[in-house]
Amino acid sequence: MKLLGIDIGTSGTRAVVIAADGKILGSATHEHAPFLAPQLGWAEQDPLDWWQAATDAIGEAMRRAAVAGKDIACIGLAGQMHGAVLLDDKNQVLRPALIWCDQRTQAQCDWLTNTIGSKRIIELTCNPPLTNFTLTKLLWVHDREPEIWQRFRRVLLPKDYVRFCLTGEHAMDVADASGTLMLDVAHRRWSEAMIHEAGLSPSCLPNLFESQEICARVSAEGAAATGLRAGTPVVAGAGDQAAGAVGMGIVRAGTVSATIGTSGVVFAATDRPAMDAQGRLHTFCHALPNLWHVMGVTQAAGLSLRWFRNLVGPSIPGTSISYEDLTREAAAVPAGAGGILWAPYLMGERTPHLDPKARGALVGFTASHNRGHIVRAILEGVAFSLKDTFSLFDDVRVPVNSIRIGGGGARSLLWRQIQADVYEREVEILEAEEGAAYGAALLAGVGAKLWGSVEEACEAALNVASRVQPDPQAAEVMRQQYQLYRELYAVLKPLFARMS
């Protein structure tokens, strides 16, 4: 039995083919065009670009795995969360999708807060109105693009649009739907009250499924575009964070992951919908029935390092400085980065500040500092921003029994050690951390009855490769630096507001 997992990311789409023992047989990633930013703080992508990248990645992954479409028993989907794909009555895309990092909808957030009330919204959805969430994007189109709104009939999230292209079916899982601000997260169903009070029609929303449930089958058109077999079952899948957590084995209360990709996420599985009354943490359904998760998000985690690399890299077209070069320079700098602090607010910030006006800040450098100091400060600043979420877990009584790290932050030896030192906890690294596409493939295996549960799938497929212990001396320096970091936002917040 072979399984296919597909992850519709921000920068590209990844497909993986795995065997019945969980081993990866073949994988491929095809990049998307860079997202559009027509104005400061805006972020849009063409959904058709996702579908093209998906068809390319699926075909290449199957070729590398030496399998044919008939060999794939089931398919799982994961993808970037929150993006709003607006369709008309003929299922045509009405405009570029407003994606997760788009920050234009503060006026709509304010309207929701003033009209419904923040406390009431948290009661209905477990979350406050944020510029990232799908509902605010719909309201922006309603307010600013009435000619498009008149033709609008249905909204899908990014991976669900790709599923529609593959199967012809409209469907969504409860984990990804949690980030729309329209789901009753506690009861895993659409919130009729929230939808009504926001002035929407329930008919614009697709049917809901649990992540491992089969919700569609590959259509003849989807088969022709991808090489898959028509009729192949497709499970509902999950948003990239929940699917990535499955791929890391974060499937029991007390297990926590810290993942650094473009954004940074601290993700804890819970056996109840644990809510922060101030809405600083996201409370979402997990990709397992009867399990939830809390999540803190740093908007520009890995993006911070990429931004700096692009800033200081060679100006010759086709060349760039490598991340390895930068981290090698940073490794020569002692913990604390010579007193420099980095606030990674390049795209506003979610946890814990909920402030789309926040901006990046590099503070405390002098003429004696070099590039290595700045790179180390960026690595430490991102880890500090993730530690903010661990601090909030204490407030909502979420246990932390073990921490697994993933993404780019797990591939760098230096960033692994910095995270252990900042969190002051042992961190685990998996033998093969393949991200959300791998988690989607595991969900497909449960849908295909290869495994009896998601927990069973993780036990069969995942192994811890190494563990990193915090260095006591470095941890003490990090503790002092973190206290300064905590003061940084409060000092800069009034300036951010004026600068915006």
Which residues are catalytically annotated? 240
Q: Are 164 and 231 in contact (CB under 8 A)?
A: no
Single out the residue of 234, 187, 190, 198 nearest to residue 213, CA to CA. Answer: 234
* Residue 1 amino acid letter: M
Number of C-alpha atoms within 13 angstroms, CB side, residue 341?
21
Give Cβ neighbours of residue 46 (< 8 Å, ≥ 6 apart): 33, 93, 96, 97
**Do 18 and 440 meet the contact criterion of CB atoms below 8 Å apart?**
no
Amino acid at 170: H
The answer to whether the bond into 352 is cis (omega within 30° of 0) is yes
Residue 207 to residue 219: CA distance in whole angstroms: 18
Q: What is the residue type of 90?
A: K
Residue 67, token pair as written in the block:
């399998």
CB 275 within 8 A of CB 254: no
Helix/strand/coil (H/E/C) assignment for every residue in the chain: CEEEEEEECCCEEEEEEECCCCCEEEEEEEECCCCECCCCCCCEECHHHHHHHHHHHHHHHHHHHCCCECCEEEEEEEECCCCEEEECCCCCECCCEECCCCCCCHHHHHHHHHHCCHHHHHHHHCCCCCCCCHHHHHHHHHHHCHHHHCCCCEEECHHHHHHHHHHCCCEEEHHHHHHHCCEECCCCEECHHHHHHCCCCHHHCCEEECCCCEEEECCHHHHHHHCECCCCEEECCEEHHHHHHHHCCCCCCCEEEEEECCCEEEEEEECCCCCCCCCCCEEEECCCCCCEEEEEEECCCHHHHHHHHHHHCCCCCCCCCCHHHHHHHHHCCCCCHHHCEEECCECEECCCCCECCCCCEEECCCCCCCHHHHHHHHHHHHHHHHHHHHHHHHHCCCCCCEEEEEEHHHHCHHHHHHHHHHHCCCEEEECCCCHHHHHHHHHHHHHCCCCCCHHHHHHHHCCEEEEECCCHHHHHHHHHHHHHHHHHHHHHHHHHHHHC
How far is Cα 432 from Cα 437, in angstroms, rounded to an integer? 13
